[in-house]
Structure 1
């Protein structure tokens, strides 16, 4: 499963370099910087295998980035996890393609069993009085592998349900490899579909 997605960053490197030249990332100087409102999706279609990897700041999906302690926060995390566990509906894959989920993996500090936040994304800032403030940045990563009986029926990838399910997501940076080649595109709720 990971073979194709592991190759994706290398295949998309020319697009990433071009994208980096166009956009200045003030936070960490990389394309994978934690930016609220922005998610990332790697998509690869190879024969009958479709692999999707969604990465998003937890803020976009649950509305916070701390470990849930209140019942209300725990319910939000559970609802988001349940939604992410329904990839056929979330990605609105066309029924004629006959795609079935072969594998899925959800990871986040909010789901338990991991440190509260990734140390690479923690920021310590001092206010004007010199007091330190610690900001945690938690991510949610979802990886899916599908087998599609009729991959030719996958003409588009529609991300509308991601935007409607998670309205704090304003943009998804997509890197896609499909039968017509590779592309990198920013997708928004107003233009949520792209062609394979």
Structure 2
């Protein structure tokens, strides 16, 4: 139930941002935040009491350098390396030790990891390039003993670990309110 409550505001946010994106991006064939755009990742973050949820969605191109099924040993090694990095969210998101955050749950999903595509991706089935657009989804839930110590969310390690990621569109819900921010490697931190 809690996850549903946290997900609901995120379901509504893209609608308002999508309209603005269409105005800025009307020449691009996809005008919403759900568009698959190389170099661009999305992060939903919610802090509710002692629970911090982070949901990262990225084209596989940003994280492994390709989107096709890994068949060569080199490609398989890249997928394994990216997965290993994603399995260390405390380091990846550089959460302050003072916040006392521990990983409660984590889920990694991608066709590259052997997962089947989501059923809600069926609307793209007519697109002949659909099989070339692999996404990687990572969902983390942390329990933080001192959530007040979470003053900023520093995403620099994501840019350093996955240099093909050029920007991250962040939707953040925290006790101080709700914000939508686009961060880059040069300005990788945002305030809670």
TM > 0.5 between the two? yes
Does 1:166 pair with 2:162? yes
Q: 1:144 aligns with which of 140, 143, 167?
A: 140
Number of corresponding residues: 188
Secondary structure in 2 matching 1:53: strand
User: Unaligned 5+ residue runs, structure 1?
Assistant: 125-132
State the 1:114 CA deviation: 1.8
8 Å contact from structure 1 (residues 12, 182) kept in 2 = no
8 Å contact from structure 1 (residues 58, 138) kept in 2 = yes
Partner of 2:69: 67
- TM-score, normalised by the number of residues in structure 1: 0.87
1:17 to 1:71, Cα distance in 2 relative to 1, 3 A: closer
More helix by share: 2
RMSD (Å), alpha carbons: 2.3
User: Unaligned 5+ residue runs, structure 2?
Assistant: none
Partner of 1:86: 88
Secondary structure in 2 matching 1:12: helix
Partner of 1:114: 116
- Bigger Rg over Cα: 1
- TM-score, normalised by the number of residues in structure 2: 0.89
- 1:194 and 1:72 map into 2 onto residues whose CA distance is 35
